[in-house]
Amino acid sequence: MAWRTQAQVERAFLIPDMLSGSQCLHSPWTSFLFPEATQIKAGGRLRLGCGCHPRDWLHARDLCYVDNIICNKTMALLLLDIGNTRLKWGIWVRGHAGPEPELLAHGAMSQQSIETLAAAIEEHGRADAAIGCAVAGAMATARVDAQLAILGLNCQWIHSAFQQCGVRNGYTTPGLLGTDRWAALIGARARHAAEPVLVISVGTAVTVDCLAADGRFLGGVILPGFGLMLKALEMGTAGLNVPEGELREFPNNTSDALMTGGALAISGAARQMHERLSRLEGRPPIVLLTGGAAPKLELALGLPHVTTEHLVFEGLLCIARTRGLIQRD
């Protein structure tokens, strides 16, 4: 059992912000002195939802029984990315926001499974706010909003702006740029603030976007992803409905020929845009590869690159910071 005075509590929260005491999480002292505390299922710890400093909870005369209390200086933020076929989600609580933010939990599901979103998130605790991007249309977004309502959340859906977080939108009509592309560009800018960047996102569709060193989004290309290419060939030809193949140097069967052909088509477009951006900037850009199907392209890309799983979430965190949803580092 660990009994701590106010001064001991304050010192412990200031150095790190966690106290390790007895195994008991249900002391009557805890519920009396910390009425705002809520239990996180994962790890069986308690989180203080009020966001105040320990000196506001305790008086000098009080001795309190403290065990595994986490100071909630930063709210738990739910990040959402509704793509054309999948929904990606993550919970960010505190700490490192990018590159590769530290997420308490994350997952993905098909659009057909959206009605399980609330249950999936509840398994990992409670979020205090939500921010997201959506390109799947109003119907899918409304279904997600209904799931968030079960959790008591109202998502702040982003829109592509003319300028935000150091990125200037070069689209003819800035608002028509996909919000997932916009978030990824902001994430790229946060990583490499003084470098040109080529952002390759491989999903249902593939986008190859060019970001200048001064923060200008110059433009990009969109082409079919692996799945759409294969479906088009299946629909337009006979005998090509075959299992998914692998990338080969010299494919000698139909499955591998289809996979390798798709990878080379995408990588060819990426290398063309890489050459154009290099010529404009006078130096080769940093290449960021992201998206659910990114691993299929890695071997065929033919460019030095960094594969990043959560580039869109990194951009959402940058936007969330400007909106006051999370504290600045």
CB 166 within 8 A of CB 215: yes
Residues in Cβ contact with 21 at an 8 Å cutoff, skipping those fewer than 6 apart? 1, 2, 4, 65, 66, 67, 68
Which has the closest alpha carbon to 148: 129, 167, 161?
A: 129
- Token readout for 313 is 């979430």
Q: What are the residue numbers of the active site?
A: 180
Can you give the C-alpha Rg of the chain in angstroms? 24
CB 135 within 8 A of CB 87: no
64-65 and 86-92 as β-strands: parallel, antiparallel, unpaired?
unpaired
CB 316 within 8 A of CB 158: yes
In sequence order, the β-bridge partners of residue 18 are: 70
Measured between alpha carbons, how far is 230 from 143 in angstroms, rounded to an integer? Answer: 29
Collapsing DSSP to helix, strand or coil, 213 comes out as: coil
Helix boundaries (H) for 28-137 = 28-33, 54-57, 117-122
CB 279 within 8 A of CB 289: no
Which has the closest alpha carbon to 297: 201, 174, 220?
A: 201
Measured between alpha carbons, how far is 202 from 195 in angstroms, rounded to an integer? Answer: 22
Measured between alpha carbons, how far is 251 from 177 in angstroms, rounded to an integer? Answer: 37
CB 312 within 8 A of CB 81: yes
Measured between alpha carbons, how far is 221 from 207 in angstroms, rounded to an integer? Answer: 6
- Unique residue bearing structure tokens 């009396």: 32
